[in-house]
Amino acid sequence: MSMVSPDTTQRLRITLRGAVQGVGFRPFVYRLATQLSLTGWVLNSSGGLVVEVEGPGERVREFAKRIEREKPAASVVTARASAWLSPENSASFEIHFSEAGAVKTVNVLPDLATCPDCLKELLDPNNRRFLYPFTNCTHCGPRYTIVFDIPYDRRNTAMRRFELCSKCRYEYDNPLDRRFHAQPNACPVCGPKLDGTIQEAAAAIRDGKIVALKGIGGFQLLVEARQAEAVARLRERKHREEKPFALMMPSLEMAGQYCKISPAEIELLQSRAAPIVLLQPKPGTDIAPNVAHCSPYLGIMLPYSPLHHLLMRECPFPIIATSGNYSDEPIAIGNEEARTRLAEIADHFLMHNRPVVRACDDSVVRLTRGRAGVLRRARGYAPLGIRVKREVPPVLAVGGHLKSTVAIGVGNDIFLSQHIGDLDTLEARHAFERAIDDLCRLYSFQPEAVVCDLHPDYASTQWAEKSGLPVIRVQHHQAHVAACAAENEVEGPYVGVSWDGTGYGLDGAMWGGEFFYVNGDGFNRIQHLRPFQLPGGDTAVRQGWRSAASLLFEVFGSSKDANARNGVPHFSPLLREVGTTDSDLTKIFSMLSRGINVVSTTSVGRLFDAVAAITGLAHENRFEGQAAMLLENEIGAVRTEESYSLRSGNWDPLIREVMGDVETGVDRPLIAARFHNALVEWILEVAATAGLRQVVLSGGVFQNRYLVERAAAKLESAGYQVFTHHSVPPNDGGIALGQIAIESLQG
C-alpha cells in the first residue's frame, strides 16, 4: 500500500459483526462517507453490516479509522473484516436494502430505554409525538421483544401491521433523520394505540388497586409501594410470600430520597438497559415494610419506555413493578393471555395493540467489585452474545432447572436466552420450549447435540433426553465455573470455586461446596465441604432448620448426650426458638441416626441455612437463598478480621464456635461476619494449596456481595487474579453458558 499515491482511487469493503443493526449504524456510515466525499454503499445483511467505500486512498483509510472510533454508542462490534477491491467508479453513496439468506451471525439487539431526544419530544406540546406512548428512534425503543426474524427490518417485526404515515415514512427514508430506518418508528396517526387511558390506570394505582400494564417485554403488575394493604393483596394473589418486589421510581431524584446511590449506580440506573438496580435503602422511609421485608437491598428502576414515563408523571411516588405472573411462572405477553392468566390478580388492565413477540422480564443488576453484576439477565441485555476465545461447537445447552436460561453456540459467540424462570410449572416448561425454538429460528441454528445437567429430574434434562439429539451431560458445578471462566476469557489452569444451594454431583450426592483444579477440559475436584446428611432431601432446601439439626446432631451427638433432657438434646431449645417443635426434632434425629430418607450434601448454601437457623435468624427459605441473604444483611456495618475455623471444609469446629457464641450472647452481626470470614479463609487456604495464580468464583452463593468482595480483595492482596461474574449471573441463570463453554474445551 505504501507504494500507492494517497490520491489513487481505492475501494475498501468493511464487514462488521456484533450488535450493529437497529442502532443507527447505517445513517452514521452514510454521514461519514458523504462527509469524506466517498462513494459506495452500506448494507445490513444477515451476515453483518457491510460497507464498500471508494475514493482517494487517504480518505478511504480515514473512513476505516473513524468508523470504529465514532460508531454509535449503542453498537457493539465483535468482529471486523476488511478487503481491498478493484474500484467500480461508483457515483454516489447509497444505503442498500437488506438481503435475505447468508449465515445468520448478526446479533439481535436488546431493547433500549427511551433516549433523551425522544423524551424531550414526548413532553413537548408542539411536537407531533406529544404524550405519544410509543415514541422511539434509532437510538432507543423496543428491539428484541418485537423481532420475529433477522435481518432486523420492519417487515420482520411486530410493527409490520402498522403502515407508516407519510410523515413517519419520510423520517424512515431520510438518511439524515434520527428515525432513518428506525424499525419501530410510529406516531399517533399511524402507530400502536392504547386500550384505555394512562389517567385511569394512574387513578387505580393511587386507589391501591393492582394494575396490569403491557410493557416492553410483557405484562407488569403495578401497585402503590407505600400502601401496605395493597402490597399484601398483591402478595396474596400472586402467591409470593416474601420475595422482595422491585420498584419503579418516577425520577432519579426520588430514587435518591429512598436509597443511597453511588455515581456508578446512577450510571447503571440511567443506562440504555435500564435494569432493576439493587440499592441500599435509607432507613425510615414510607415504603411499606412488606415490599422487601428484611432484604438488605431495594430493587429500583427508572421509567424506560414512553408509556412508563407518562404513567409515572401521574404517579409521583414509588410503585411496585413486578412481572405479570403467578410466583415464578413466565410473564404474560398477549392481551388475551393476560386477561385470562392475570384475571385473579389484576383489578385494572392497561393494554395496547403492539404485540410483544417474546417475554422478557426486567433485568436485575447489582454493583459488584465496582462493576455491574447481572443477577437476572433479560430486558436490555438479552440476547447479546458472549464472545468467547475458542470456536464453540454447534450445540444447544438447556441449562439447569431454577432460573432457567438456554443457549446456543454459533462460531465464537454463545447466545444466551433471556431469563425464563423456574421450570416447575407447565407454563414455564412451555416458555422453555419456546425459548429454544426462538433462539434456533433467529439464528437458523440446527443443533448437532444437546447439553444438559446431570440431574435426572430436571425438566431440562428430561427435555434433552426426548429431543432425539445426542445428549451430553455436564456436571452442574463444573458448568458454573466454566461459565465464569468463559465470560472472563480465562484460560486454564485455574482454581474454580463453585458454591451454591444444590446441584447433582458426580457421585449422586447433593453438591454445592466444590473446588476444582481446572486445566483444559479437565476438572479435578480438589476439595469440598465435609459432607453431612440432609434429612428429607429436597424438603431441607426449604426447611433450613433441618440442616442446623443435622450439623448439631453430628457435632454434639444425639439424645444420648449427657446434657439431653427428656430425650431431647441440649441444643434443641435453640431450634424451638426458630419455630421447630420437639416432635419435628425427634423425627429428624431418628432419620439421622438410622440413615433413613437422608441425602449426603456438600452444599455451602445449606451451611448458610444451618448458621441462619442456629443464630435464630431464619428457620426456612421462603424463596431461594433467603436465609443466606438475611445472614449477609445481618453483617451490616460490622467490620472484623475474626473468623471461625473451617479448615479444609471441616465444619465441626465452626459449628462449635457458632454455638459457643450464641450461648454466650455474642451479637449476631459479629457471628455473621465471623462466619463469612471463615468461608473466605477457606478459599485462601485451598488457593494456596493448589498453587495456581488464577481463581474463578461462581455459583449462587457468590450473589453474596460481602462474600465475593471480601474473597476477591483477600485473594488479590495475596497475589491472585480473581474472576467473578459480571455479564452473566453467578446463579443457575449462567449454567447454559457454562455447559456450552465446557463442550468447547473437548478435543
Chain residues in the site for Zn ion (CB under 5 A):
115, 118, 137, 139-140, 165, 168, 187, 189-190
How many angstroms separate the CA atoms of 697 and 373, rounded? 13
* R_g over Cα of the chain: 28
484 binds, among Fe ion, Zn ion, none (CB under 5 to 8 A by kind): none
137 binds, among Fe ion, Zn ion, none (CB under 5 to 8 A by kind): Zn ion
Question: Nearest residue by C-beta to Fe ion?
Answer: 500
Residue 191 or 512 with smaller CB distance to Fe ion? 512
How many angstroms separate the CA atoms of 539 and 669, rounded? 28
Min dist. Cβ of residue 218 to Fe ion (A): 26
**Segments in 557-704 forming alpha helices (H):** 572-577, 582-594, 604-614, 626-635, 652-663, 668-690
Min dist. Cβ of residue 677 to Fe ion (A): 23
Residue 189 or 713 with smaller CB distance to Zn ion? 189
Min dist. Cβ of residue 70 to Zn ion (A): 19
Answer whether 38's CB lies under 8 Å from 60's CB: yes
523: left (phi over 0), alpha (psi -120 to 50) or beta: beta
Min dist. Cβ of residue 104 to Zn ion (A): 27
Min dist. Cβ of residue 679 to Fe ion (A): 17
165 binds, among Zn ion, Fe ion, none (CB under 5 to 8 A by kind): Zn ion
Angle of helix 604-614 versus helix 626-635 axis, rounded to 10: 60
Min dist. Cβ of residue 481 to Fe ion (A): 11
Min dist. Cβ of residue 121 to Zn ion (A): 8
How many angstroms separate the CA atoms of 673 and 671, rounded? 5
Q: Footprint of Fe ion on this chain (CB under 5 A)?
A: 500, 503, 732
187 binds, among Zn ion, Fe ion, none (CB under 5 to 8 A by kind): Zn ion
732 binds, among Zn ion, Fe ion, none (CB under 5 to 8 A by kind): Fe ion
Answer whether 359's CB lies under 8 Å from 330's CB: yes
**CA dist list (Å): 301 to 69, 268, 271, 322, 482:** 31, 9, 10, 11, 31
DSSP string over 605-620: HHHHHHHHHHTTS-SS
* Peptide bond preceding 383 in cis form (omega within 30 of 0): yes
Answer whether 523's CB lies under 8 Å from 475's CB: yes
Residue 140 or 279 with smaller CB distance to Zn ion? 140
Report the DSSP pairing between strands 39-45 and 93-99.
parallel
666 binds, among Fe ion, Zn ion, none (CB under 5 to 8 A by kind): none
Residue 74 or 728 with smaller CB distance to Fe ion? 728
598 binds, among Fe ion, Zn ion, none (CB under 5 to 8 A by kind): none
Residue 174 or 650 with smaller CB distance to Zn ion? 174
Express the helix, strand and coil content of the chain in percent, nearest 5 each.
35, 25, 40
Residue 118 or 225 with smaller CB distance to Zn ion? 118
Min dist. Cβ of residue 476 to Fe ion (A): 6
> Residue with C-alpha cell 489452569?
493
Residue 137 or 320 with smaller CB distance to Zn ion? 137
**CA dist list (Å): 622 to 79, 365, 421, 696:** 45, 22, 17, 29
Answer whether 721's CB lies under 8 Å from 488's CB: no
Residue 632 or 732 with smaller CB distance to Fe ion? 732
189 binds, among Zn ion, Fe ion, none (CB under 5 to 8 A by kind): Zn ion
Residue 500 or 632 with smaller CB distance to Fe ion? 500
525 binds, among Zn ion, Fe ion, none (CB under 5 to 8 A by kind): none
| 432 φ, ψ (degrees, to nearest 5) | -60, -45
How many angstroms separate the CA atoms of 634 and 537, rounded? 27
**CA dist list (Å): 688 to 517, 648, 714:** 12, 12, 12
Min dist. Cβ of residue 162 to Zn ion (A): 8
54 binds, among Fe ion, Zn ion, none (CB under 5 to 8 A by kind): none
Answer whether 366's CB lies under 8 Å from 375's CB: yes
C-alpha cell at 128: 407531533
100 binds, among Zn ion, Fe ion, none (CB under 5 to 8 A by kind): none
Min dist. Cβ of residue 25 to Zn ion (A): 15
Residue 137 or 410 with smaller CB distance to Zn ion? 137
How many angstroms separate the CA atoms of 637 and 252, rounded? 26
Min dist. Cβ of residue 22 to Zn ion (A): 12
Min dist. Cβ of residue 686 to Fe ion (A): 19
How many angstroms separate the CA atoms of 351 and 192, rounded? 10
500 binds, among Fe ion, Zn ion, none (CB under 5 to 8 A by kind): Fe ion
609 binds, among Fe ion, Zn ion, none (CB under 5 to 8 A by kind): none
Residue 186 or 679 with smaller CB distance to Fe ion? 679
Residue 185 or 502 with smaller CB distance to Zn ion? 185
Min dist. Cβ of residue 499 to Fe ion (A): 9
The number of C-alpha atoms within 13 Å of 19 and in the hemisphere containing its C-beta is 23
Residue 115 or 356 with smaller CB distance to Zn ion? 115
73 binds, among Fe ion, Zn ion, none (CB under 5 to 8 A by kind): none
How many angstroms separate the CA atoms of 308 and 215, rounded? 8
Residue 28 or 458 with smaller CB distance to Fe ion? 458
Answer whether 218's CB lies under 8 Å from 323's CB: yes
Question: CA end-to-end span of the chain, whole Å?
Answer: 40
- Closest-CA residue to 659 (of 575, 593, 543, 576): 575
Residue 46 or 475 with smaller CB distance to Fe ion? 475
* CB neighbours of residue 302 within 10 Å: 24
How many angstroms separate the CA atoms of 616 and 576, rounded? 9
Task: Report CA torsion sign: 523, 529, 532, 538.
Answer: negative
Specify burial of residue 613 (Cβ count, 10 A radius: 0-12, 13-18, 19+).
Answer: buried
C-alpha cell at 377: 439477565
Min dist. Cβ of residue 725 to Fe ion (A): 12
DSSP string over 52-63: EEEEEHHHHHHH
Min dist. Cβ of residue 467 to Fe ion (A): 22
How many angstroms separate the CA atoms of 291 and 277, rounded? 15
361 binds, among Zn ion, Fe ion, none (CB under 5 to 8 A by kind): none
**CA dist list (Å): 113 to 158, 244, 549:** 18, 24, 49
118 binds, among Zn ion, Fe ion, none (CB under 5 to 8 A by kind): Zn ion
Min dist. Cβ of residue 326 to Fe ion (A): 24
Residue 179 or 725 with smaller CB distance to Zn ion? 179
